[in-house]
Amino acid sequence: MKKARTAKDLIGIRLLTAELKTEWLKNKRPEYLPVIVDLGLAINSMASTRVDLHTSMHDLAVSVIDWPGEKPPEITMKLLLLLQNDPEYSSGMLKGDEWVKERQIRAERWLNVWKRIREQLAALPAPSEPFYFQVDPPAETHLPTGVAPSAIKDPVLRKQYELAIEKNTRIANAFQKKQYLTDQEKLFAGSAKRYLVEAFCKPPFRTDDLDTVLEKYGLDQKIRQTMVDEVRRRSEERITRDAKIAKAITASIAPKAPERFAVPAPGAYVDAKFLSTDPKLLTPISIKLTRPKLGDLLDLLSSKTGYEITAGGDITRDRLAYWSIHHHNVPAWLVMDQVNEAVTEKGRWVKKEKGYQMVGESKPPLKVLANVEDQAPESSDQLWILVAVMAIPGAVYVIWFAFHRWRRRSQDSGKGA
């Protein structure tokens, strides 16, 4: 796999996917799980837009996710993250009622895994007693903390010490498991919320379906309401934007009295109303891109209109412009207006000798959340977040333990006095 990934060998990756799928379905052995995750990451990094490879990976990942056998929460989380882009929807393979049905299945898959993690966490009682990094031997032995039980000659005291060590180990293991699941639930909850909101923001809009399925899986009312409100807000914005586009298209193709296009002097600022009068910018454009960079959109506009469409100032061409953009036969000026609104704060277009340039204050770049490798704990910031989160209880315990030891010794000294 490493060799195929380095060589960007898509044929080799496809064959490896088929072979691994056959082996997994036949044996269902847990040791296959990390290999399946690595394969999915390879496909995502090499060919995230290849629907055939994604479909093969989707079937394999789903068979693992739906497998009732025991599997680490991070494995399930990574596999679900591999599936969150929904390329079948973006490519048009799934749409309308078919998408509504599949979206419900995928939403329930996320929520079912989330529910299992919450149930595992709730089933683990919080340790009722503190644990120690090292157990003190019985005071009668006058031996230092941390000595081996074999150092105690008295069999009664030695047994007492061994039982104390066993009890401390059980408490420590219970604490660590509880903390681990707590951290995993937080990480998974963030990813699940993002996916569900994105999925239900794709038409057809069925916000009530989301509310129903969230309630079915027992999510907190506040969490449900926040997610539903976000989907409803974004859906309404999408409907308004689509209506604006439809109105602009209708206006652009409606018969008009011929009017003379007044060419402004180079360096003059122009607004969307003016752009809509430029004959070259009435050229219809169709776009269907996932995560396009600004430079890709500017180059497309330039090639379709014959103008040099550029960006100036601190507006970089390699920044991410949209999560996805999909237009069919819309006028070029409308795309220019939307791109300007997406990447700048109060940006404007300036007439240049051979075209137009976008100027203004650049908006903060979109943070890529959908890239699975960026979210995988072994290769991303999530690992550091997880380490930091788990380190906090440890630091608190060290302080508590030091204070406890100091107080105990102070009490012992007081008794001796």
pLDDT digits 0-9 by tens, 232-250? 999 998 888 888 877 777 7
CA 48/CA 85 separation, integer angstroms: 9
Average pLDDT for the chain: 80
Tell me the average pLDDT across 187-202.
91
**What confidence score (pLDDT) does residue 50 get?**
67
Residue 286 has pLDDT above 80, yes or no: yes
Tell me the average pLDDT across 170-182.
87
CA 96/CA 404 separation, integer angstroms: 63
Go through 163-179 and write b for each residue having 16 or more CB atoms within 10 A of its CB, e for each that does not.
ebbeebeebbebbeebb
**What confidence score (pLDDT) does residue 276 get?**
83
Output 156 or 407, whichever has higher pLDDT.
156
Cβ distance 86 to 199 under 8 Å? yes
Helix (H, G, I), strand (E, B) or coil at 98: helix
Go through 306-336 and write b for each residue having 16 or more CB atoms within 10 A of its CB, e for each that does not.
ebebbbeeebeeebebbebbebeebbbbbbb
Q: How far is CA 361 from CA 272, 315, 341, 345, in A?
A: 18, 7, 11, 5
Output 157 or 397, whichever has higher pLDDT.
157
The first and second tokens of residue 371, run together, are 């890239």
Helix (H, G, I), strand (E, B) or coil at 260: coil
Burial group, residue 219, by CB count within 10 angstroms (0-12, 13-18, 19+): buried
**What confidence score (pLDDT) does residue 387 get?**
42
Helix (H, G, I), strand (E, B) or coil at 289: strand
In eight-state DSSP terms, residue 280 is G
In tens, the pLDDT along 398-411 reads 565 555 555 555 55
User: What percent of the chain has a predicted confidence (pLDDT) above 90?
Assistant: 20
In tens, the pLDDT along 22-58 reads 888 888 888 888 888 888 888 777 765 566 777 778 8
The first and second tokens of residue 21, run together, are 């799928």
Residue with tokens 């847990």: 30
What number of CA atoms fall less than 13 Å from residue 396's CA on the CB side?
A: 7
Output 312 or 413, whichever has higher pLDDT.
312
Output 123 or 197, whichever has higher pLDDT.
197
Helices and strands, counts by H and E, the chain: 15, 6
**What confidence score (pLDDT) does residue 49 get?**
58
In terms of Cα–Cα distance, which of 199, 190, 207, 242 is closest to 88?
199
Residue with tokens 């500017």: 298
**What confidence score (pLDDT) does residue 324 get?**
78
**What confidence score (pLDDT) does residue 156 get?**
92
In terms of Cα–Cα distance, which of 74, 169, 58 is closest to 117?
74
Tell me the average pLDDT across 83-93.
75
Query: 119-123, 150-154, 274-278, 312-316 — which one is most confidently predicted on average?
Result: 150-154
Burial group, residue 117, by CB count within 10 angstroms (0-12, 13-18, 19+): buried
- Of the ranges 35-49, 88-102, 310-324, which one carries the lowest mean pLDDT score? 35-49
**What confidence score (pLDDT) does residue 376 get?**
37
Tell me the average pLDDT across 272-297.
86
CA 195/CA 103 separation, integer angstroms: 11
The first and second tokens of residue 38, run together, are 């690595």
- Of the ranges 36-45, 147-156, 207-216, 330-339, which one carries the lowest mean pLDDT score? 36-45
User: What percent of the chain has a predicted confidence (pLDDT) above 70?
Assistant: 82
